[in-house]
A and B are shown apart, each in its own frame.
Chain A
Amino acid sequence: MKMNTMVIDVSTKNDEPEYESFGNAVTAAASDQRTEKAESDTALLSGATIIGAQMTDDALSLELDNGDVLRFCANGGVVEWTITDKGETDHLPQSATPVLQLSFSPDASIHSWERQRIVADRLNKKVKRISAAKAWAFLGVEGCETLMFMRLVMAKEGTNLLFYDRE
């Protein structure tokens, strides 16, 4: 786990394809397998309560009260999610990731990213929906704004950072 409060230079990548119109973008997403998977996983997890979370720079694991763990991670440029059985292990340890200061290139604008708070706001709330674009992923939680996941690249390290914030 990265314990870092200094400013991190990050850049976005063109992971998500672009379309000329809203309709084209929706058509492409509607026929994508990720959308189908998201629908079936939504049916599986909808109504489960998030009872714990673990954060790393490239992944976010959410412990659910139905015994599953929903894990989002940046696999290359694509945000993927998996559902695994927590098994007999104890609850996931609470992460203590500090607030990160992200400097987005090219304009170097610095933004505070309170990922710990973002996750904490969703604890003890029910999962509503998982949805996906070509590279980005989304998590709807009851009473909260939809969380959007995307891959950022940390300029210095050249490694991925799983970035998530409201839409």
Chain B
Amino acid sequence: MLSLTEDTGNEGWQTLLANLCAKHKRHAEVLSIKAEERRPSRINAAIAQLLEQIIKGGLGKLCNLISRMVDSCDILSAFIGMLRSAFACIRDSACASSKLCDIIEGFLKTFFPVVLALAARLLLGKLLDRIKSIICKVRCIVEKIVKEALDLVITALYKAFGQPAPNSAPPGECGNSCPPGKPCPDRKKKPTDKPPVKKDSNCGARCQKKGAPKPGNCFAAETLIHTLSGPQPIQTLRIGQRVVTFLPHERRGDAPVEPTLAEWAAHRLVTATLWFEDGEFINVQLLRDPDWFRMHQPEVDKAIYLDLPEMGVQGEGIVDAIEPCPPIESGEGRIITAAFHHSTGECLDIHTTGQEKATSTTGGHPFWRLESEDRNLNQSPPYFSQQFESNEFLDSEGNWQLSPEFMVATLLETANCGLSGQWVPSEDLRINDRLQTLAGAAAILSVSESKRIQTVFNIEVEGDHVYRVGESGVLVHNASVPGEDFDDEYDSFDDAIGEIPPNFARCIEKLRSNNLGAIARGFTERWIGLNSDDEWWSAFHNPTTGKFAGAHRSSRND
């Protein structure tokens, strides 16, 4: 074996390294041969082949490294040669100092550039990383400052023109804007990635002001919904699927006419997510017709304003996707046209006869409660007897807003249930109240007092706006028909109303007319207004001619 001494010459070093390299190469060949010999089966053969490649590859790399080291031996040899000269010089007392200086100078001349280059690279590398980091931070700060400045300018411009700024929600308010200095949630993040977070008791979509939508009417995950192929967990339903709505004897009047397949084909599916500053979100899927798309002009990755207060969906979201109409299931039942996924909701459990599991629902979801003679209606008010405060119709900025309670109340009228009973919010249901199931009436055994926080879902059902939940198929309303607003046809409420009578406030809602006689005359809409004396008025509207007729005193909840 070769050993390193002061007498070892350059050739010796090269020989040593070359031998080492050759030895490893031989070792690789031996291992390769051994691997060749171990082939008892096809599997072992494959393993052996793999092993061979690994060994060869690994040792090959090692050998290459050694080769590079050998190539560097020239420099090393020169260094050792100079060391030898230095040793000889030190032993030789007669050695002149100038000779030592020559040696040192030679040493520095040979190695200093290399050492300097290495040191420079090491230091510069760290320095460049640091500079890169600083530039990145500066860029982030500048971007943030510019964005905030632009937001302020835009807001100021909108205010100057008397309009609410559509894309800016100040910190602490709802919307997709995030407070300065706090990281925004990843808007591309899928809803399932986000664990539910506990929220305030009175806040459906967090930080909503008075007059803002209440929590959406939803059911907890795993709640069974009756489809044509049987009960299915609500979170697994898809747009275009059919669900069971009214049984024939439960329906009042004719079933609403469903769009044709050609009309469905013209629909498109838009998916959007509303993010809130605390990380809560609402994921929305809407199957909508071309008119809706013309009106809302949704674009992927762009903002869209969704106004579905009765679903707890009101505010600006980001469009995640726009897709063609999904397959429309054929058969009985009605089509699911929208799906809503709230990251959290407060649920109460309703136990009824005829099913083992409780139905977990948010407090506002409308259930059809059958009439019962021995029940005191006043203790458990239906939607239609709820009282609405007039200031609920104006938001804090003085903009006219629809009361979600009023909307739900009027929307419930559209469900043509022929059974004797009323739509009642789940939180107003009481023990012994009777609900309608697919098998008939079922009595409520208990309603939990405490509400649990969990992920909740809802669907919108075309035409009937009802569906069946739980094992027994309890009849519930989807409460998700968006009320049309005046922006469809008019620039402002004042334009819509025209000359406002003395002491008359504003129009509140535009509903579909149900009266065949009025419809035959073209009065397909019914407008409801509230004056300053808290008197309600209603009139029919012909959208084709723009004319109004049949104005009359009305009640709040008619």
Interface centre among A12, A14, A18, A114 (most CB of B within 10 A): A18
Minimum C-beta distance from B488 to chain A (A): 15
Contact A166 B507 (CB under 8 A): no
* Contact residues of B between 488 and 541, Cβ < 8 Å to A: 496-501, 504, 507, 513-518, 520-521, 526-527, 529, 537-539, 541
* Contact residues of A between 109 and 139, Cβ < 8 Å to B: 109, 111-114, 117, 121, 128-129, 131-134, 136, 138
> Known contacts A22-B529, A132-B552; is A27 also within 8 Å of B501 by CB?
yes
Tell me the bound Cα distance from A102 to B520 in angstroms.
Answer: 11
Tell me, yes or no, whether B422 is within 8 Å of chain A by CB: yes
* Contact residues of A between 7 and 44, Cβ < 8 Å to B: 12, 14, 16-30, 35, 38-39
Tell me the bound Cα distance from A140 to B536 in angstroms.
Answer: 13
Contact of A12 among B384, B504, B521 (CB under 8 A): B521
In the bound complex, residues from chain B placing their C-beta under 8 Å from that of A90 are none
Tell me, yes or no, whether A146 is within 8 Å of chain B by CB: yes
Contact of B548 among A21, A111, A138 (CB under 8 A): A21
Interface string of B94-129 (1 = CB under 8 A from A): 000000000000000000000000000000000000
Tell me the bound Cα distance from A131 to B558 in angstroms.
Answer: 12
Contact A167 B517 (CB under 8 A): no
Tell me the bound Cα distance from A43 to B233 in angstroms.
Answer: 51
Minimum C-beta distance from B382 to chain A (A): 8
Tell me, yes or no, whether A72 is within 8 Å of chain B by CB: no
Contact B553 A131 (CB under 8 A): yes
Main secondary structure of the interface of B (DSSP, over half): mixed
Tell me, yes or no, whether B413 is within 8 Å of chain A by CB: yes
Contact B517 A165 (CB under 8 A): yes
Interface string of B373-385 (1 = CB under 8 A from A): 0000000001010
Contact B517 A18 (CB under 8 A): no
Tell me the bound Cα distance from A146 to B541 in angstroms.
Answer: 17
* Contact residues of A between 129 and 167, Cβ < 8 Å to B: 129, 131-134, 136, 138, 140, 143, 145-146, 148, 150, 152, 163, 165-167
Contact B520 A104 (CB under 8 A): yes
Task: Report, nearest first, the 4 A-B pairs whose CB atoms are least far apart.
Answer: A21-B498, A25-B551, A29-B551, A25-B548
- In addition to A129-B558, A145-B558, A167-B526, 15 A-B residue pairs with Cβ atoms within 8 Å of each other are A18-B548, A19-B551, A22-B497, A25-B551, A27-B501, A27-B504, A29-B551, A30-B537, A104-B517, A112-B254, A133-B550, A140-B554, A163-B516, A167-B514, A167-B538
